Amino acid sequence: MYVEIFSLCDAATSDGGKLNVLGAFDTIWAANVPAVHLQCAIALRIRFVSIERGQHRISVNFVDVDGKHVVPSANGVINVNFPDGHRSGSANLVLNLQMLKIEKYGEYSIDLSVDEKNEASLPLFLRER
């Protein structure tokens, strides 16, 4: 298994196996807190090899430096299946976040786990404008 894309962005869509990502970022500038970011998305594309076919548990957690959740965990199961004879296949996931409220300036983390194993992390910085 290999995480090909894991990004916080302005918008993302997945259609027909294509993952479309618009405006990747890691910093939100705000004049005051709590800050509300109207809309963003987490875009994810994972590649699996043939022996990894089947179900996999995916978890995305958005936390502050103390491990406190900014939004509830996003948990789900994906079923990985692709044609015989293919060495690998990919799975896309888009998590849309609307009215994202962040209480204080600082660093945050968006953490990806697959089958209860941490696979990737993204930083997000809320900075004073």
pLDDT number for residue 9: 98
Q: Give residue 107's Cα distance to chain centre.
A: 16
pLDDT number for residue 122: 97
pLDDT number for residue 27: 98
Number of domains in the chain: 1
pLDDT single digits (tens) 54-80: 999 999 999 999 999 999 999 999 999
Start-to-end C-alpha separation, the chain: 39
pLDDT single digits (tens) 11-53: 999 999 999 999 999 999 999 999 999 999 999 999 999 999 9
- pTM > 0.85: yes
**Domain span at 41:** 2-128
If you search the block for the tokens 């900014």, which residue do you land on?
A: 70
pLDDT number for residue 12: 98
In the 3-class helix/strand/coil scheme, how is 3-38 assigned residue by residue? EEEEEEEEEEEEECCEEEEEEECCEEEECCCCEEEE
pLDDT number for residue 118: 97
**What Cα–Cα distance (Å) separates residue 23 from each residue in 1, 7, 11, 20, 95?**
26, 9, 7, 10, 15
If you search the block for the tokens 């939004």, which residue do you land on?
A: 71
Radius of gyration of the chain (CA): 16
Contacts of 12 (CB under 8 A, 6+ apart): 19, 20, 21, 22, 41, 42, 43, 94, 96
CATH number at residue 8: 2.60.40.2550
